[in-house]
Structure 1
Amino acid sequence: MAGASGTGRDSTGGAATGVGTGRARPAGGARGNPAAEFGFSGDPAQHGAPDDDILHAQRVWDGSLATNRLDDLGVNTERQRVETAEITTTVGVLVDGRPDDVRRSVESVIEQTGAYVLAIDLGDVDGAGQVLRELADLHPERVTAWYVAERPAWRDGTAAWGESRAKLMRLDTSEVHVLMETSVTLDGDAITPLVAAVHEGAVAAGWMGFERDGDNWREAAPGRVDALSGDLMAVRRPAALGASPEDARDGFELSLALRGELVVPPDRLQVRRTPAH
């Protein structure tokens, strides 16, 4: 199979705030040809009488509650940023096509968080690899990118999800590795609460969790869960590597293999998801 060049980009810039700002380089002194080294070939109205005092009072009460919730969320997130500032964190992204999603997703991490991005492009499907190159060139202090010739198995190639994710984790040197699919866009800092949950003792934390219902699964309330949606999940990197990520077909399966507590933070995270890839 034809080889592809691997281009690592140094991520030593330090102006961003949020998790991971005290971290080392995301690619750990990036290797010259990780593709070959890791097995790839080559490189939501009330309307009533306006003079209804009771209704007016209720509206004021409801509005105050909503404002307080927003204030609490802002305060909590800022507190968490301070507590997790020294935890090294990287967002791992597999680029497997859908270039518009790639651009929107990676840009949201850069705009909304202080985390670094480590990405592997699998075969430049539909030009997604070129979009990644543009983002890495535009944000060299935040994005480290590798490019390989293998196309993803779910696009008739040879690179399986688990194998590709495992390579990302091994290229990373951070304490916390965030699995993020390009179908996910952040409308706020959804990374810091996840890292804070891991810092507080969870082996992994995600924006959505599931609980067993007999032989089936259903979405779980925030708190401790039985499994996590893998499209946005922060995990202790050594624990993830110890769970044989190569054998997982997706993040849900990987979460089941982890040993330790899985949690969903209490505050709803500002995350949007496009139709599943």
Structure 2
Amino acid sequence: MNEVPPYVKDLAEQRADARAERDHATADALRDEIEAEGWLVRDTADGFELIPRPPFEVWPTVGSVPETGGRATGRAGEAGEEATRTPKAPDRDVSADSGKIAEAADPARRPERLGDQEAGRVAETQAAPEQQPEGSELVGRSDELGGDAERMVSSQLLWDASLSVSRLDESITPPAEVAEAEAAPPTVTVGLVVDGWPDDLRECVRALVARTEVKILALDLGNMDGAGTVLNELVQEFPRRVEAWHVAETPHWRGGTAGWGESRTKLLRLDTADVHVVMETSTILDGDAITPLVGELKDDVTGAGWRGVNPREGGHEWVDAAPGEVRGLLGHLFAVRREAALAAGGFPADARYYRNADLEFSLTLPGTLVALGKDLPVHQERHRGYHDVDPGYRDRESRRTYDRVLGLLRAP
């Protein structure tokens, strides 16, 4: 194991003093100096620890990751000096496409297209007389008119009439490329919070790559157990499919400060797809389980998941639901319309731990939620987020979140 040089330890202690005095500018400058020496300083409940700087860009906290509309300037293996640690305002990227076909079919709003078509017809007429528009042979070709003004006027009137018929046909029939664009399937991204257990991460990502065509967007919290390093390897192995962000901040459920709700909302805002899929690394696909979920997102359905639950009377207990409409979706695997999730405010900001936070998020979504149940080709390995977390912490944070769930259930 690499031994930390004494002068780096001294810099880290100076930074800890600056943080205690709330001198954030000095603390940030010292952090950068430590990084320049090849080390990362990570804050812990007992103070700090120093780890060797990995071969990828690492941002200090979840909140510092810049929301760049989907392009990861902090992408593993691609970060440059231009990357900034100053967070930008959320890029909500909310737009409506309902008027695209009408706009594309309106000749008055597409003058360049009509001009191109008319110029093409003129060029075709000059290059290939035998392919002139039907009716032009009634008055003869322009080079045969010999300056006859009356015949030239007649020819022009017939030519204009043929063009107007073609333009009328264009205005009624949308161009083929517009119809194809309207019928295009929604784009989909799977969001993963990486909080350790690298073997689980590797199996989860490789199953996604092998059995679907979705993009994968991952947020690594503190390179726990070397999971961030494995994530970087997966980015190199599948550069067109996997995109990664790394932060030094560690997950709250493992003794750090990064909350589940904050991390999930960051992934949601970094995404630009139509559909955002929430998935845990302990969830493994046995087939394409994503397409059926996305297929349910029609009409007023805003979320579709693997496992659904419903509350009993009074709301103090939730039970597994049969396939169909449900009140809550469990965070093992579910798909949501990204714009609807953003409009609802994202994931609960006060949720430091996942348990019950998925229910809280479900209750804030508009529209209908559905679950597909056991027929979906997916299974779960050991649920680390539950079984490998301190039981006292798990119960305390679960109750804390559930108080908010009860409030939502009882709201008018």
TM over 0.5: yes
Tell me the residue number matched to 1:109. 208
Tell me the residue number matched to 2:358. 251
Runs of 4+ aligned residues of structure 1 deviating over 6 Å after TM superposition are none
Distance change (3 Å), C-alpha of 1:202 and 1:37:
same
Tell me the residue number matched to 1:275. 382
- 1:177-209 Cα deviation digits (max 9, x unpaired): 000000100000000011111135311000000
Distance 2:84 2:278 in 1: 19
Structure 1: runs of 5+ lacking an equivalent: 8-25, 40-82
Quote the offset at 1:6 in angstroms: 3.8
Find 1:188's aligned residue among 287, 298, 309. Answer: 287
Quote the offset at 1:34 in angstroms: 7.5
Distance 1:193 1:34 in 2: 39
Quote the offset at 1:265 in angstroms: 2.8
Q: Give yes or no for contact 1:103–1:135 (8 Å, CA) kept in 2.
A: yes
- 2:371 counterpart letter in structure 1: V
Distance change (3 Å), C-alpha of 1:126 and 1:35:
farther
Quote the offset at 1:252 in angstroms: 2.7
Find 1:28's aligned residue among 60, 70, 95. Answer: 70
**Which is worse superposed, 137-146 or 242-251?**
242-251
Root mean square deviation of aligned Cα: 2.5
**Which is worse superposed, 207-216 or 176-185?**
207-216
Name the count of aligned residue pairs.
216
Distance change (3 Å), C-alpha of 1:34 and 1:88:
farther
> Is 1:227 matched up with 2:227?
no
- 1:216 counterpart letter in structure 2: E
Distance 1:95 1:84 in 2: 34
Distance 1:96 1:38 in 2: 24
- 1:172 counterpart letter in structure 2: D
Alignment of 1:5-16 (within 5 A): 6=57
Higher RCO structure (Cα 8 Å, ≥6 apart): 1
Distance change (3 Å), C-alpha of 1:265 and 1:200:
farther
Distance change (3 Å), C-alpha of 1:34 and 1:145:
farther
Distance 1:84 1:167 in 2: 30
Q: Give yes or no for contact 1:84–1:195 (8 Å, CA) kept in 2.
A: no
Distance 1:193 1:37 in 2: 35
SS at match of 2:265: helix
Q: Give yes or no for contact 2:72–2:244 (8 Å, CA) kept in 1.
A: no
Q: Give yes or no for contact 2:216–2:241 (8 Å, CA) kept in 1.
A: yes
> Is 1:242 matched up with 2:343?
yes
Tell me the percent identity.
49
Tell me the residue number matched to 1:37. 87
Distance change (3 Å), C-alpha of 1:182 and 1:34:
farther
- 2:334 counterpart letter in structure 1: M
Tell me the residue number matched to 1:213. 312
- 1:220 counterpart letter in structure 2: A
Alignment of 1:115-130 (within 5 A): 115-130=214-229
- 2:328 counterpart letter in structure 1: A
Distance 2:336 2:192 in 1: 14
Distance change (3 Å), C-alpha of 1:85 and 1:95:
farther
Distance change (3 Å), C-alpha of 1:180 and 1:256:
same
Distance 1:191 1:180 in 2: 10
SS at match of 1:164: helix
Quote the offset at 1:36 in angstroms: 4.3
Distance 1:218 1:84 in 2: 38
Structure 2: runs of 5+ lacking an equivalent: 1-30, 32-40, 43-52, 59-67, 75-82, 90-181, 386-412
Q: Give yes or no for contact 1:89–1:116 (8 Å, CA) kept in 2.
A: yes
SS at match of 2:297: helix
Q: Give yes or no for contact 1:27–1:144 (8 Å, CA) kept in 2.
A: no
Distance change (3 Å), C-alpha of 1:35 and 1:251:
farther
Distance change (3 Å), C-alpha of 1:112 and 1:230:
same
TM-score, structure 1 length as denominator? 0.72
Q: Give yes or no for contact 1:123–1:149 (8 Å, CA) kept in 2.
A: yes
**Which is worse superposed, 125-134 or 200-209?**
200-209
- Which of 1 and 2 has greater Rg? 2
- 2:332 counterpart letter in structure 1: D
> Is 1:202 matched up with 2:301?
yes
> Is 1:144 matched up with 2:144?
no
